[in-house]
Chain A
Amino acid sequence: MLDAGRHPKINLLAYSEVEQVSGEVGAFQAKVRKKARYVNEDLCTGCGACVEKCPSTVEDEFNVGLGQRKAIYKYFPQGIPSTHCIDAEHCRQLGQGKKCGVCAKVCQAGAVDYEQQDQLVDLEVGAIVLATGYDVFDPSVIPEYGFDRIDNVVTALEFERLLSASGPTGGHLDRPSELALRAEIAELDKDLNKLNRQIEKLEEKHGKKTSDFIGEFQAGKAGEDGDFERWAALAEKAAAVAEKLAPMKKREAAAHTAKKLAFIQCVGSRDFRFNRFCSSYCCMHSVKEAMIAHEHDNETTSSIFCMDLRAVGRGFEEYKLRGGRSANIQYVRGRVAEITEDSHHNPIVWYESTTTRKVEHETFDMVVLATACVPSSSTPKLAELIGLELDENGFFKTYPLVPLDTTRPGVFVCGCAQGPMDIPESVAQASSAAARAAEVVAPVPKAAAGGGE
């Protein structure tokens, strides 16, 4: 990443989108919209002082909605270019027309620029490489897995963020239900503190404790004062909030990290209702996540529910076996029919075990859905823009004998834009696509290639 940001031959256009492509192989003209960041890339030092002071909080896309970020933000800490960006929609100053300007005030480099506009960049290129990647399948369309209803059913990518030391939980396997509980407690605590401060002021003003006052007030002996009605109402409210908080705090104190995990394979893949294809990397992805979770806490046990576990790749079969031997992973052959939830937010997995030939169920701390790799939502638009055909699954169409060539000469595709694949394969394809593009723009003279006359 860093190398790509620094290389003198790479013109990095981040936060940009292609709007128009015309011309043909050897001479394409492209129009790229460089979206306004409202932060001057050349001046921003990436210190983050603006983030600390920004008053607007938004769901963090990088952490798949599990954490929060500010309206001025860096997409992720190690991100390249190492510069911040304002999300105009959620910014008080830009999106909501309120007076704010805090980030501009605290920025010592003077990098914040609310007047910045989108820029249109015209490019003239000989070849195009598509590496637009994929989207994660949205499991909420499978009602029986309850992704929408059950807090502790997460996608593999969400689980990845929970495992990450730089993620929203700092690498602790806290369950989403507990994260929600903690957020609710924090909110109520804030309300309670506010009420208590108002009550304290009244106590000081009248020189008596609330408990004494309430007794007098209820007995009608408190006398007449404009404050008393409000005081009694505040005290009642504070008591109600405290009463609500007590059992929640008790539940939080009893909470533990997720130690018993279930992984469900082929969620949205190899399922004729959604995608017929195999997403190829999810089997190994689940094994990896189970192994890392076990590394974090060696009491962790995992069950991987699959039709079959596809460990096709160098070192993959050994990796799978190692997981079973040393990371408490149990492979269960059976398709999961339904996930329900008990009163402690524990998901219950119902499945038909093909080994015992019975319908069984088991309760887990957390369930991870190995969601399918589906074409990126931008793919159809991009295909239309460049004039490319898509295959039957919605990925860019290629041919078996020229697997990186799209249906248009001079346009090549690599990685998951072409179909589901793992990282090593994406990297190998990327190098091949680079070579194919180089053949177009920098052909070696025939004599040098040994084919000269």
Chain B
Amino acid sequence: MSNDVMVLGGGIAGIQASLDLAEMGIQVHLVEKLPCIGGKMAQLDKTFPTNDCAI
């Protein structure tokens, strides 16, 4: 039995899932294939419907 969780993909969904699990005190292994996490959302300039900055 292991109490760790592996999250595959470090985009907005992977980051959010990892943070939620980590905040519950669960050890997370976040695996991202690119050199940095951030995913597609980091490539966006602003987000709808509030035109907030994406990063």
Binding site for B on A (CB under 8 A): 1, 3-5, 7-18, 26-28, 30, 32, 37, 62, 64, 74-76, 78-81, 85, 123-134, 157, 160-161, 163-165, 167, 284-285, 287-288, 291-292, 295, 313-316, 318-319, 378, 382, 414-417, 422-423, 426-427, 429-431, 433-435, 437-438, 441-442
B50 cross-chain contacts in A, Cβ below 8 A: 315
A126 near B28 with CB under 8 A, answer: no
B2 near A124 with CB under 8 A, answer: yes
A125-B4, A131-B10, A295-B51 known, 13 other contacts, Cβ within 8 Å: A1-B15, A10-B28, A10-B30, A12-B30, A13-B32, A30-B6, A37-B35, A126-B2, A133-B9, A133-B40, A292-B46, A435-B20, A442-B26
User: How many chain B residues touch the partner (CB < 8 A)?
Assistant: 52
Against A, the Cβ 8 Å flags (1 = close, 0 = not) of B1-41 are 11111111111111111111111111111111111111111
B41 cross-chain contacts in A, Cβ below 8 A: 423
A287 cross-chain contacts in B, Cβ below 8 A: 48
B25 near A9 with CB under 8 A, answer: yes
Q: Would you list the 8 A-B pairs with minimal beta carbon distance, nearest first? A: A415-B13, A79-B36, A131-B14, A430-B16, A434-B20, A9-B22, A131-B9, A131-B13
B11 cross-chain contacts in A, Cβ below 8 A: 131, 133, 415, 426
Bound CA span A12–B49, Å:
31
The residue among A64, A124, A163, A315 with the most chain B CB atoms within 10 A of its own CB is A124
A79 near B38 with CB under 8 A, answer: yes
B6 near A125 with CB under 8 A, answer: yes
By secondary structure, the A interface counts as: mixed
Cβ 8 A contact of A4, one of B6, B8, B19, B44: B19
A426 cross-chain contacts in B, Cβ below 8 A: 11-13, 16
Bound CA span A60–B2, Å:
40
Q: Which residue of A lies closest to B14 (CB)?
A: A131
12 A-B contact pairs sorted by A residue (CB < 8 Å): A13-B31, A14-B37, A16-B31, A123-B6, A129-B21, A131-B11, A134-B40, A160-B43, A163-B46, A430-B15, A434-B24, A437-B17
Cβ 8 A contact of B44, one of A3, A37, A132, A160: A160
A30 cross-chain contacts in B, Cβ below 8 A: 6
Q: What's the least CB distance linking A175 to chain B, in Å?
A: 17
B29 near A427 with CB under 8 A, answer: no
Cβ 8 A contact of A416, one of B13, B30, B43, B51: B13
Cβ 8 A contact of B43, one of A16, A85, A157, A435: A157
| Contact A123:B40 (CB < 8 A) given known A4-B18, A15-B32, A75-B34 | no
